[in-house]
Amino acid sequence: MEILEINYINFRNLIDGNIKFFPKLNLFFGKNGQGKTSILEAVYFNATGKSFRTSKASEAIKYGTNKMGVYLLYKDNISQKSLTVKFNENKKEYYYNNKKISYDEFYGKLNIVTYIPEDIILITGSPSIRRTFFDGEIAQANNEYFQDLKNYNKLLKIRNKYLKEEKTNTPEYSIYEEEFIKFGAKVIKKRLEYVQKISIILNLNYRKLFDDKKELSLNYECQLGNVKKMEIEEIKNLFKEKIQKNFSLEKRYGFSLCGPQKDDFLFILNGHEAKSTASQGEKKSIIFSLKLSEIDMVIREKKENPVLLIDDISSYFDSNRKESILNYLEKRNIQVLLSSTGKLGIASNDFYIESGEVQYGREIK
């Protein structure tokens, strides 16, 4: 996929306008606080309806105004397409080729992979951050997972309500519970398959780019037990057993105590959990390798190249690691939008940003 152009109105500090992108490397450079991250964020918002900086998208609406809009043109292997997101503080509207669609239909049309400095939280943060991230990744490339997860979350809410209101003796409860187990097992099985595939690519990328003396893997930690080699029916049975065991406790607490909402994804570097042992630079390199692996996963699932967004490339790698990343990006045939405070000395198309204004090809004064 390749983004051809973006138009934005009232997005953060950006002066309303449009940018035409180039096929491979597009660099946005300029001093601090000028709008570099905002450009990448606008692209991300246009592709996903969300911000990568904040869960409150309304923060991205330009100060002093109450609505914003983004419109982009992209092409995939087949044809040229457009996506629009209109947002006022109350609601978002999504359009595909100028036709209004639901968020479910919109999600995953244009595949984007991002790398931002804050991503290190994927290692240092809580399990729920990792779950949200990996769920989004799996769903982006696999619409069936998106639906299964949505169903599971809905059933989890219903089940919790029944537990809380002590209505587990009702006939409809057992139907809900059966569905809850069915979708829970599906979610676990798909996560397992994803982890098994991405872990291999992750290790290859890490060794190739950063350190060929170390081994990196991603493990799925399932609270139900060791499900690694299980078929879906076996996972279902285990889930059922676990619920039976915990049922009286669940009724006492008034919510579900087991299921995929309790699981975690762990990065293991040379046999040790990265969270507590990897250095800062190693953590950043692990996440970068993960993002590159996501690209490969999207290509595998969708037969399309996603667009890669990298914010603030200069600020967090030593010169060797940075060079290694830039070499890699130059060689790969994917579109990359990246930001930096200075030029990078690579074959990129450069855009200069000052006070929210974007100019193609200008030098810093």
Ligand X SMILES: Nc1ncnc2c1ncn2[C@@H]1O[C@H](COP(=O)(O)OP(=O)(O)OP(=O)(O)O)[C@@H](O)[C@H]1O
Q: How far is the CB of 21 from ligand X (least distance, A)?
A: 17
The Cα–Cα gap between 103 and 221 comes to 30
In the complex, least distance from residue 173 CB atom to Mg ion, rounded to whole angstroms: 50
Q: How far is the CB of 29 from ligand X (least distance, A)?
A: 9
Q: How big is the site for Mg ion, counted in residues (CB under 5 A)? A: 2
Tell me: does residue 34 bind ligand X (CB under 6 A): yes
Query: Is position 340 an interface residue for Mg ion (rule: CB under 5 A)?
Result: no
Tell me the backbone φ, ψ of residue 63, rounded to 5 degrees.
Answer: -50, 140
Considering the rule CB under 5 A, would residue 38 count as an interface residue with Mg ion?
A: no
Mark 305-344 with x for binding to ligand X (rule: CB under 6 A) and - for no binding: -------x----------------------------x---
Residues 49-108 that bind ligand X (CB under 6 A): 59-63
Does residue 33 touch ligand X according to CB under 6 A? yes
Binding of Mg ion at residue 37 (CB under 5 A)? yes
User: Whose Cβ is closer to ligand X: residue 21's or residue 107's?
Assistant: 21
| Position 293 contacts Mg ion (CB under 5 A) | no
**x/- letters, 160..199, toward ligand X (CB under 6 A):** ----------------------------------------
Task: Please name which of 40, 43, 41, 65 lies closest in space to residue 51, comparing C-alpha atoms.
Answer: 41
The verdict on 12 binding ligand X (CB under 6 A) reads yes
Ranked by CB distance to Mg ion, the top (closest) residue is 37
* Chain residues that interact with Mg ion, rule: CB under 5 A: 36-37
* Chain residues that interact with ligand X, rule: CB under 6 A: 12-13, 30, 32-38, 59-63, 312, 341
